[in-house]
Amino acid sequence: MVDNDVLQNILLFGPVFLLIAARALAMIEVAPLLSSEAIPQVVKISLAGLVAFAVIPTAKIFMAANSPSGLVTLPGGTLSDLRSETFSLRFFLLIIGEGIIGLILGFYIMIIFSAFSTAGQFFSLQMGFGASETFDPLSQIENPLMGQYLNLVSMLVFLALVNNKGEIIGGFNLLFTGFWSSVKTINIISLVEGKEPVVTMIVSGLSRLFMDAMIISLPILGTLFLTSLTTGLISKAAPQINILSEGFPISISVAFILILASLPYMVEAFTRVINSGFSSIQTLYTQIRQITAGGAL
């Protein structure tokens, strides 16, 4: 049961609730798995409202409800009591700013998971599945079959995520814990003042995307390259063999055997990449806090 005083304060600070809900909805609309068109929009809005309901008691302006002035000092000046600014231009701009923060968080999470589907794309062509692109409902893009397979495996790993201590924490728990930390750390003013760490995080995330994808796919990609080289040498030594009809089954069989043998190691790599990505987000919060001396909502 929720205490009546908490409900009264949430109703009293409805504008703050809307700001947090706007950030949560923007993140949900972009983040992998949650942004799928298979999830109704009503469910996404309801989830954003639930997240805002759970997070609002930790908001800085909410905790100042019992202060004499009702004001909260933020970087760049004093943020007035939002209870009287619901329909003001300033509140509208704050809503847009919260949406931008949510989009940045969701986009970076999407970068983390794009490494897995990219890894599948790297060796799909070598397998002979280069022309097998279909719409992937998880990543919302045209994706080869192996990219979809690795993306699905990564989502299952995310749902049963294990931390560095071997404890099962669950991906959604980690996701919304990171969102809660963002509410305690970042507002649109601190985001503008600490834009350098944000830009650095996104650029490094894009570069790490291709590096992680190459590391994941390199064993299979290298073996398929050697397989193609071997079949080419065989075709030179025995021209009567129709290597075009025999090469594809060999490449596909070798690739499936390698995927089956390396799947446990892939799961460990997926877990390491996901944990590393969310650790980068936490590092970003720390850097912005140091630059702006605080920036909670």
Q: Is residue 28 part of a domain?
A: yes
What is the rounded (10 degree) CA torsion for 227, 232, 237, 242?
Answer: 100
pLDDT at 252 over 70: yes
Q: Is residue 182 part of a domain?
A: yes
- How does pLDDT run across 44-102, given as a tens digit for each residue? 888 888 888 888 777 765 555 444 444 444 434 444 455 555 567 777 888 888 888 88
Whether the Cβ atoms of residue 258 and residue 219 lie closer than 8 Å to each other: yes
Share of the chain above pLDDT 70, in %: 74
Q: Is residue 297 part of a domain?
A: no
Q: What is the CB-side half-sphere exposure of residue 186 using CA atoms within 13 A?
A: 31
Give the count of domains, the chain. 1
Nearest partner of 294 among 118, 111, 76, judged by Cα: 76
Reduced 3-state DSSP string for the chain: CCCHHHHHHHHHCHHHHHHHHHHHHHHHHHCCCCCCCCCCHHHHHHHHHHHHHHHHHHCHHHHCCCCCCCCEEECCEEECCHHHCCCCHHHHHHHHHHHHHHHHHHHHHHHHHHHHHHHHHHHHHHHCCCCCCEEECCCCEEECHHHHHHHHHHHHHHHCCECCCCCECCHHHHHHHHHHHHHHHCCHHHHHHCHHHHHHHHHHHHHHHHHHHHHHHHHHHHHHHHHHHHHHHHHHHCCCCCHHHHHHHHHHHHHHHHHHHHHHHHHHHHHHHHHHHHHHHHHHHHHHHHHHCCCCC
Phi, psi torsion values for 64, nearest 5 degrees: -90, 15
pTM: predicted TM-score of the whole model, two decimal places? 0.78
Q: Which domain holds residue 177?
A: 4-292
- How does pLDDT run across 187-212, given as a tens digit for each residue? 777 777 777 888 888 888 888 888 88
- Torsion sign over Cα 268, 270, 273, 278: negative
